[in-house]
Amino acid sequence: VQLQASGGGLVQPGGSLTLSCTASGFTLDGVSVAWFRQAPGKEREGVSCIGSSDDSVYYRNTVKGRFTISRDKAKNTVNLQMNRLKSEDTAVYYCAFNGRVVSGCSTDPHGQDAWGKGTLVTVSS
């Protein structure tokens, strides 16, 4: 069971990036998948998640309308499209899954079953 987050990089304010969370050894279809981020000196926070059974989605308020989470079942990935990026979005982004959520999704950092290594997103001019 392995998760890998990718797609980070340096982008100017107002720009866009797409992060991908790829699974190997198991399928992400039917499990809650969440994106988290951790900025220097701050706690890890849940950014978005997609539901286990109905692909319902959740976004933290500060990214609503700018970020979009989606599944690509053919590629066994969950993507996070990030638009209109701000300096405060700078952080290491992680993906995780929770195979025990029956309905909806979870951004509880203490309740995830496995984590991918993070990918750094830097928003700066």
Local confidence pLDDT in tens for the 125 residues of the chain: 789 999 999 999 999 999 999 999 999 988 999 999 999 999 999 999 999 877 799 999 999 999 999 999 999 999 999 999 999 999 999 999 998 888 889 999 998 999 999 999 999 99
Count the helices and strands in the chain (H runs, E runs).
Answer: 0, 11
CA 44 to chain centre: 12
What's the token pair of residue 19? 């992060």
Positive or negative, the Cα torsion across 87, 88, 92, 98?
A: negative
Angle 24-37-114 (CA atoms, 0-180°, nearest 5)?
30
What's the token pair of residue 72? 């690509």
Residue type, 39: A
